[in-house]
Structure 1
Amino acid sequence: MGVSGSGKSTVAEGISTAMGLPFAEADRFHPEANIAKMSAGIPLTDADRWPWLSDLAAWMATQAREGQSTVMACSALRRAYRDVLRSGPPEVQFVHLDGPVELIAARMSARPDHFMPASLLASQVRTLEPLGADEDGVVLDLRHDPQTLVEQAVEWLAHR
């Protein structure tokens, strides 16, 4: 979890490979209307997000019913969003990639092919609610290189 540009997809794919688990990019579950809004620099509303989050939870629940754990790259910025994700499978752990906004903004500026413009970063930072003490998760410093972050996440997940 984390704001756009924090490295969620790269780290989640690394975790998926290291642990041999199916990977899903939450952005691919967005309906075209959501993509169009974000591409135009318009932040999503909760009304835009609820069906998307429900679809993510349903995908994880389906995999869990088949005995399969999963890895997903998803912003999961607010606790209420994470609550929806937790409503699907029996367990959900969160790896929050966190770090300096300036570094994230620089990363976003360097990826011109992504639909999420850097102009929405401030909105995401304002929306972000850190993991609560009662939420199963870990916060990792995104200033580390991706391989180190993958290793830290895999080690933490292995002890769950």
Structure 2
Amino acid sequence: MLLTAIFARGAGAGAAVRRALHSSAVRDPVRETGLYYHALGDGEWAISLRADAPDRPDSPWVVGRLAVPAAVEPPAHLRNRPDSVRLNARFWDELHHVFREHVAHDETLQFEANMRENGWAHLSDMRDSLHLVRTPTPDSIFGTVAFVERKIDPSTYERNPIGMAQSGI
């Protein structure tokens, strides 16, 4: 749902560029990741959540780029060397823009706001099961938002800079 908004914001006419990239998608064998790898040439791959080729390597729906040796499959390379990803700042900027727009509708955060009344809560991924009022691991936190009188205030959303360096996912 949130990522659909990112894709809609980043969609545009780019068929000519897409053809020029000669990108063919490789779906990650672990389907839960939702990742697709698009060949950009010279052993470089764009990592995306879409099956169709990106308009350009820095499209907002390209999570990052990965240089892969010729004899290695991109998913295997990513698992063995996760720090080798060069993140796409445009994707992460769009992702956080969508989070800010929709954070007030997150049911987990709404529940926490209702239970605690005032404070701050973290928007995090669901890799680790969480317990109420427990802080997720830092690399699982996308951002933090305040709630006042049981209402989430989207204007207070702050993105988490951890893990958003030029390499690493």
Judge same fold: TM > 0.5, yes or no.
no
Question: What is the TM-score of this pair, normalised by structure 2?
Answer: 0.29
Return the structure number with greater relative CO, CA threshold 8 A, min gap 6. Answer: 1
Q: TM-score, normalised by structure 1?
A: 0.30
Larger radius of gyration: 2
